[in-house]
Amino acid sequence: MISRVTFAKTTYNDVPTRFEAGTPHVEGVVALKTALEFVEGIGYERISQWEHQLLVAATQRLGKIQGLTIYGNVSDKAPILSFNLEGAHSSDVAQIMDQCGVCVRAGHHCTQPLMDRLGISSSVRASFSVYNNYNDILALEKSILKAKELLL
């Protein structure tokens, strides 16, 4: 925090108040409370089951796309689907998917040791949550097929 600011000079407070963040993030606390109430209203177990159903459906559907490699096919996993399209860079795939209105991440996802083990430099990652539905899986599939059409 500062004690005084002018165009010529800034004077900081003494320690420890010098390192205080300033105005509290009140709206963030209110939003967090609302988000927690939303999640608790649905229930963690129901959310987990729904996310798992979406993950299984997406894995089955996308698993039929020729040239698509899905990473991490285990029975008990987070609702995250990581994949690559053979012959295409993950960033290019993600950009085309974005243009189709599908939000994914591309890159190494802070898992370079895993990428090294898999022999890849990056992947595309789709995540599922309580607000997703089966139409999102269809849009995901359609966007991957569009990327495949344009890139390969």
Is the Cβ–Cβ distance between 115 and 34 less than 8 Å?
Answer: no
DSSP string of 17-49? GGG---S--HHHHHHHHHHHHHHHHH-HHHHHH
Q: What does the alpha-carbon distance between residue 92 and residue 94 come to, in Å, rounded to a whole number?
A: 5
Name the residue with tokens 């900081």: 12
Query: Catalytic residue numbers?
Result: 110
